[in-house]
A and B are shown apart, each in its own frame.
Chain A
Amino acid sequence: MSQDSNLVSAESINLAVSSALSEIDKANDLDELKLIKLNHAGDRSPIALANREIGSLQGEAKSEAGKRIGQARSVVKEALDNRMVELQNNREDSILVAEKVDVTQVLANAKSSSLVVGARHPLTTIAEHIADVFIAMGYEIAEGPEAEAEWFNFDSLNISEDHPSRSSSDTFYVESLDSGVVMRTQTSPVQMRAMLERKPPIYVIAPGKVFRTDELDATHTPVFHQVEGLAVDKNLTMADLKGTLDHLAKTMFGEEIETRFRPSYFPFTEPSAELDLKCFVCKGVNKKEDFDCKTCRNEGWIEWGGCGMVNPNVLETAGIDSTRYSGFAFGMGLERTLMFRYGITDMHDLVEADIRFTSNFGLGI
């Protein structure tokens, strides 16, 4: 008899079964049991190897060996299955129970814990939100430099040589005072640049930084942000302007918002208007003695932005025939919009770069 035939002997099989059962019994967890299963019931296990020998046996020896090995396999399988169930139950009852955590720990770490979290400035994101409203209406974003030629910032916009806004007590001049370069006082020079770079129809929106010589206080800052809009096309009217701004107001402040136009004056628009929002906090019920509305300062209306039909002089300076084309333009301050939109009461919060302020706004997408 070859050595291999010993593999199928009752002695060998019993030994294999008892060693398997003993190890199965000792298995501590499912991972150990998985390894034991591989060793004692896998393709290279003693019982499996014995099974391969059956083919070389004859007659009764063959059938006896077959029976013996079949029984051994089912004994081992049953032990494995039972132990598997035991260990699974054990995992449910003790291990997972022991692994329980306190999920409130996560909130116990205030802001920022193990995750790296940053945020964008709300002025950036509100400018994007406004731009997106206009992009959806077919506008493009136009841009221009912050240190700007006086000609673009003033002259080309029909602002006369002696207009008070040009004084050095209002406007930052790049040295010297007659350099012809100012820190732009408005986003309107982008209008002129947009008209010189494009041919009508022109629909652009221009958010950006502007500068005026105001000291920083609760409501002023020398560097602030505006968003400017310009449309030049055939047949554009003040009614289109009103509709456009109404749409913006609704997307920013909700469908219920009420607006009004009232006459105003800007050198670069004629007719000119001021757009007011009915106060969305006190709903314009401003005369109540017992309610002090901080949002509209009890005026009932909030001044939001200036607008009007592009002054024909401005169109002509851009080389656009003012008898064939008309246009409208509007502009509003983003700091003010943010302040009354989000209840920010002090301008310092917007400019001091305190990350406790910014982080509140998240990515703001």
Chain B
Amino acid sequence: MKLSINWINEYVKFPKTTKPEVIVEHLVKLGYEVEAVEIFGNVQGPLVVGKVEKIEILNEFKKPIRYCTVNVGNKTQGIICGASNFKEGDLVVVALPGAILPGDFKISERETYGKVSQGMICSAKELGFSDNHEGIMVLANDLKIGSDAKNLLGLGETVLDISILPDRGYAMSVRGIGRELALSMNVKYVDPILQKIPKVKKSPKLKTKINTKDASKIALVTLSDYKTDSTSPIFMQKRLAQSGIRTISLPVDVTNYLMLEIGQPLHAFDADKISGGIQIRNSKQGEILETLDHVKRKLDSSTLVIADNKKALSIAGVMGGLESEITDKSRNLIIESAVFDKASISRTSRSLKLPSEASKRFERGTDPAVSEYAAILAAHYLVKYGKGKITGISIAKNIIKPITINFNPNEVKRLIGVDIDKATIQKILKSLNIGVTKTGDKWKLRTPSWRHDLHHQADIVEEIVRIWGYHKIPSRLPTTHLGSGLSKAQKTKRALSIKMASLGANEVLNYPFVSLDQISQLGISSKDQRANLVRLANPLSEDTPNLRTTLLPGLIIAAARNISRGIDNVAIFEQGSVYHQSTKNVKNIKPKLMKRPTNIEISNLNHLIPVQPKMLAGVFMGDKNQSGWWPNSQKYSWHDPIEMVVELCTEFGIEVSLTNAKHAPFHPGRCAEISINKKIIGYAGEFHPGVVEKSGLSGKVYGFEICMDDIIENAIDQMAPTFSAMPVVKEDLAFVVGKDAMALDLITTIQRTAGSLLESVRLFDVYEGSSIGQNKKSMAFNLRFRATDRTLTSDEVSKIRLQIVEAVAKEHSGSLRA
């Protein structure tokens, strides 16, 4: 909401010299943000009211040019002007030589069109007054010739752009914000509705009623013999322009002006287009109304309309109807001023996407006490600045129950932690027009008609502290409370993230939005649980309307983005939720408020939402460590992601088992299924070359995805190991076995046969080649033997070695490699 300081100052009596910063500071303290402090129409130098005495038309140019003789008070000036919307005798705004208009436009005496032009006759746009550039500004005839036009037009005045919190509808006017500003600045406040205006008698003819629960009041003032050919008074044009509202016609300008000043939105109808009485009712289902913007709108029964006996005339509080709109020819007018239910207007303006200055005020609640006054004052202005006769007023209203709040002044200390004495509390309440009836500490409060935001004690406490000063709230720490730190799950999650980064991967945080296409591109079949996607009702983009069931699409896209930016080696990981359809079929439930929901209700709410396990996934390609002048560079390989998962699990004392598996998006021969205690926790390995191609990547790409929740669940605290100080005996054994033999099977045989003296066994080489034989491979193991209590003899170890060789021969048809 934009308001000039000058307008506010009319009702808030701070000294004229008060700096804008001071006013801004008071507003901020009261909870109003000031978005901008602007200078309206920055004009410097002489700008005066001039009277056009003579117009000489020069016809020898492309278009007719006017050479005007203008009386600027003490002298006349000859001025060239291209516009033609004025006549001799009109008063205009003249920029004299030496003036500087907005945009650093310097005015000087100059020769043009064969004449000397001694200044400029200005348009509203050239002055920065409004964006109206259709011709020059013609002023009302009662102004003093030669007087300062800057002052008249409010040029150079300061305008504040104030943002009003959604609960403070009452502050959306000079009247509302002025009251609090005066309080904060400790200066006199004059309520704008206390101007004396003529009484209006009850209308003899016009009947009105309220036929809905969503409205509580309507006041209609009728005018006859209305006529205007003049524009709105300059003070009104000025203030509307300063508030960023276009001047249109006297009736529209007057209603806008009073809305800004008093906070009551008004609407004017052409009385001759209306048949019978006027009512507020809910729209009939499917009723059609063509609104001012020439759109035919189909309304539903939740929409409030102002209607006559036959038809809807306007969408209440949101937009007028085209048919009953006032025009130049309207002679009989009805000014409507009403009070609607906040929520109803909010729903309508939102569903029709028609936010307006009026609907913004109705949505936040208007003051029912000013609606009649505003309608009468509007009619009064129309008569005063136009011509016509006020013929009567019709009012219908429902009883509005006044709000009373039981308040204990000790609540201030309980919630804020400061002692504000009761006398001060009472004084603040009174200054906010809140009535107090005291019985000890039981105070009964009556809120003023414009406050729709006060319902509970806490609301009152906020008001008291707001006026007393938020900046005076002290800074204290609560008494220490004992906590137990991070939970096991939280520690595990952090450690997993640190571990992944230490293993060389960079964390990314992708959006969880995917499409079924992206899922099928990974080779995931439509029967896979990951293809059963949760969909958003209102996705940002129809390209990705679903929620992810796997982190891999996002990671693969992120990898491709990095590659496209010239980064050759990519190692990235993500920890995040995935979303699966809820397995329970639960209907949308809304437990009652103001009491704890039952456990069944809580459980139903939890079954309503998707199942959201937390996953950990990574994608790797290119060099693991770059090649260079140092030894041993390595490229990522199929085993890296598998090894990482094993390492992550080992970190938390978890033993995993691996088996070869076929699982999209992985290479069917290079994918490990990873399980903990027979429960599959995820997959790792090399991606299918087809998936890599479709992703716009090239070369080999590796990755894994595991369920983090499973790791968290199985994580155990590592106990201290025991180890022997006796010497170790090392033994290397290479076996020639069939090509399909599994390393882990051989190790199992070795371990079982060797017994407790075998400290460790490790596969250190795998070799295939003609020297080994067709369909054969050699696997070489490094064994370490150690006893806890003695030095092993070579006899002992040779005996075990022999047993191992025999067992491998028997169980795996393996022979010692020569």
Contacts and interface: CB of A to CB of B under 8 A. Distances in A.
Interface of A: 105, 109, 112-121, 123-124, 128, 135, 137-141, 145-152, 155-156, 158, 160-162, 164, 167-169, 172-181, 183, 196, 201, 203, 209, 213, 215, 222-223, 231, 233, 235-240, 242-244, 246-247, 260-265, 270-273, 309, 311-313, 316-319, 326, 350-356, 358-359, 362-363, 365
Contacts of A235: 414
B625 A114 contact: yes
28 contacts: A116-B625, A118-B500, A135-B483, A137-B477, A138-B481, A141-B486, A145-B610, A148-B609, A172-B538, A174-B535, A177-B537, A233-B481, A237-B413, A237-B476, A238-B416, A239-B417, A243-B474, A243-B475, A262-B29, A262-B471, A265-B165, A271-B458, A326-B414, A355-B508, A355-B570, A356-B567, A358-B507, A363-B501
Contacts of B575: 124
B594 A178 contact: no
A137 B500 CA distance: 29
Interface in B499-518: 500-512
Interface string B595-616: 1110000100110111010000
B536 interface: yes
CB-based closest 4 A-B pairs = A319-B596, A237-B417, A263-B31, A180-B588
Contacts of B417: 237-240
A260 B29 CA distance: 10
A270 B459 contact: yes
B498 interface: yes
Contacts of A243: 474-478
Interface stretch (B199-207, B558-566, B664-672): B558-566
A262 B470 contact: yes
Interface of B: 28-31, 165-168, 343, 346-347, 350, 413-418, 456-459, 461-462, 465-466, 470-471, 473-478, 480-487, 490, 494, 497-498, 500-512, 534-540, 547, 558, 561-562, 565, 567, 569-573, 575-577, 579, 588-591, 593-597, 602, 605-606, 608-610, 612, 624-626, 628-630, 632-633
A39 to B, nearest CB: 26
Contacts of B505: 118
A223 B554 CA distance: 14
A120 B572 CA distance: 10
Contacts of B466: 263, 271
B545 to A, nearest CB: 8
A343 to B, nearest CB: 20
Contact of A261 (B471, B485, B540, B605): B471
A160 to B, nearest CB: 7
A237 to B, nearest CB: 3
Contact of B458 (A203, A215, A260, A311): A311
A252 to B, nearest CB: 16
Contacts of B590: 150-151, 155, 180
A242 B472 CA distance: 11
Nearest to A112: B626
A162 B349 CA distance: 11
A176 B594 contact: no
B626 A178 contact: no
A264 B418 contact: no
Contacts of A215: 540
B605 A152 contact: yes
A137 B540 CA distance: 40
Contacts of B572: 353, 355
B168 to A, nearest CB: 7
A148 B536 CA distance: 13
A71 B537 CA distance: 102
A263 B507 contact: no
A222 B347 CA distance: 24
Contacts of A209: 576-577
Contacts of B511: 222-223, 351
Contacts of B593: 155-156, 158, 313, 316-317
A215 B511 CA distance: 12
Contacts of A351: 509, 511
B497 A124 contact: yes
A236 B168 CA distance: 27
Nearest to B605: A149
Given A172-B536, A238-B465, A355-B562, A244 B416 contact: no
Given A113-B630, A147-B547, A244-B477, A139 B483 contact: yes
Nearest to B413: A237
Contacts of A270: 456, 458-459, 461-462
Given A147-B534, A358-B506, 15 more contacts: A120-B497, A141-B490, A151-B591, A161-B343, A180-B589, A237-B414, A239-B418, A247-B477, A263-B31, A265-B167, A270-B456, A311-B458, A319-B595, A355-B506, A355-B571
A184 B606 CA distance: 14
Nearest to A273: B470
A118 B466 CA distance: 49
B752 to A, nearest CB: 36
B503 A118 contact: yes
A164 B413 CA distance: 33
Contacts of B629: 105
Interface centre among B350, B417, B459, B465 (most CB of A within 10 A): B417
Contacts of A238: 415-417, 465, 473
Contact of A128 (B343, B418, B494, B606): B494
Interface centre among A162, A318, A359 (most CB of B within 10 A): A162
B498 A120 contact: yes
Nearest to B509: A121
A128 B536 CA distance: 30
Contact of A237 (B347, B416, B470, B537): B416
B432 to A, nearest CB: 13
A185 B638 CA distance: 40
Contacts of B537: 168, 172-177, 179
Contact of A118 (B482, B494, B501): B501
A141 B487 contact: yes
Contact of B596 (A261, A265, A273, A318): A318
Nearest to A320: B596
B164 to A, nearest CB: 10
Given A215-B540, A271-B465, A326-B414, A240 B507 contact: no
B456 A312 contact: yes
B565 A354 contact: yes
A243 B504 CA distance: 40
B509 A123 contact: yes
A175 B632 CA distance: 53
B595 to A, nearest CB: 7
A119 B475 contact: no
Given A271-B416, A355-B562, A135 B508 contact: no
B571 A118 contact: yes
Given A215-B540, A238-B416, A317-B593, A271 B474 contact: no
A121 B480 CA distance: 32
B632 A114 contact: yes
A239 B471 CA distance: 11
Contacts of A222: 511, 540
Contacts of B166: 164, 265
A173 B538 contact: yes
B594 A317 contact: yes
Contacts of B470: 260-263, 273
A359 B506 contact: yes
B598 to A, nearest CB: 10
Nearest to A270: B458
A173 B500 CA distance: 33
Contacts of A319: 595-596
Contacts of B350: 164, 167
Given A116-B625, A263-B466, A242 B473 contact: yes
Contacts of B609: 145, 147-149, 174, 181
Contact of B482 (A138, A169, A261): A138
B539 A172 contact: yes
A352 B483 CA distance: 37
